[in-house]
Structure 1
C-alpha cells in the first residue's frame, strides 16, 4: 500500500496549484477517504469528468472570441490533442500493465486527469489572452 501511495503522490501536481483548485482539492479529499483500488479509481474518474467539463467550458469560451480562421486552427489543434491524449494513455496503459500489474488502472487514471487538466489550463490561458503572468496559466 505504501508503494501505491508514493506512486500516486508522484503523479499529483507538486505545485501550489493543487491547493488552490477546487477539482484538485476534491480529488485529494476523495483519495484520502478511499484506500481501495475501486474507491481511488472512482475518485480519479470524478476528477477526470470535472476537468473534462472545465476543458470543454474553456474551449467554448475561447471559440466565441475567435474569427473563423482562428476557430479552424483551434478546432484542429483540439482534435489533434484528443488523438494525442488517447495515444498516450494507450501507451502508458501498456507500460503500466507490464510494470505494475493491478496498479496500472490507477496510474493511467492519474495520468488521464493530469493530461485533461493541462489542456483545460492551456485553453484557459488562451481565453484569458496571455500566459505572460504565471497566474494566467493556472
Structure 2
C-alpha cells in the first residue's frame, strides 16, 4: 500500500497534472484518500469503468463514421483487443498473485485501468485522424 501511496504522491506533485484527463484526476484523488487495499482496488475499478465508457464513446463515434471494410476491420480489431485485455489480465493476475501477495489486487486493478485508458486514447486518436503529438494519443 505504501508503494501505491508514494505513486499517488508523485502523480499529484507532477506538473503534468494540469493536463490530465478528469478520470485520472479523480483516480489520483481517490487513491490519495484510500486507506485500505479494498479502497484502492475500488478506486481503480471506478476509473476502469469510466475509461471503458470513454472507450465506448470513441469506438461508437468511429464505427458510425465508417462503412465496408474499414468498419469490419475496426470491429474485428476491437474484438481482438477485448480478448487480449482479458488474456493479459488473467496472466497478470497469475503473475502478481505469485509474486506480490496482497498487493496483487492493486497491481492488477492498476493495469486494468492502463489497458482500457490506452485503448480509449487510441480510438480517440483515430477519430481525430492523427497521432502526431502526445495530446492525440
TM-score by length of structure 1 reads 0.88
**1:60 counterpart = 2:65:** no
Q: Is the Cα contact below 8 Å between 1:24 and 1:47 reproduced in 2? A: yes
> Which runs of no fewer than 5 residues in structure 2 stay unpaired?
none
Task: Report the CA distance shift for 1:17/1:78 in structure 2 as closer, same or farther (over 3 A).
Answer: farther
Task: Report the CA distance shift for 1:63/1:51 in structure 2 as closer, same or farther (over 3 A).
Answer: same
User: d(CA) in 2 for partners of 1:94 and 1:5?
Assistant: 24
How many residues align? The count is 135
Q: Is the Cα contact below 8 Å between 2:9 and 2:32 reproduced in 1? A: no
State the partner residue of 1:128: 128
User: d(CA) in 1 for partners of 2:38 and 2:97?
Assistant: 17
**Residue 3 of structure 1: how far off its partner (Å):** 3.7
**Residue 69 of structure 1: how far off its partner (Å):** 1.1
Task: Report the CA distance shift for 1:18/1:71 in structure 2 as closer, same or farther (over 3 A).
Answer: farther
**1:107 counterpart = 2:129:** no
Task: Report the CA distance shift for 1:36/1:89 in structure 2 as closer, same or farther (over 3 A).
Answer: same
Q: Is the Cα contact below 8 Å between 2:5 and 2:31 reproduced in 1? A: no
**1:89 counterpart = 2:85:** no
RMSD over aligned Cα, in angstroms?
2.3
Q: Is the Cα contact below 8 Å between 1:18 and 1:24 reproduced in 2? A: no
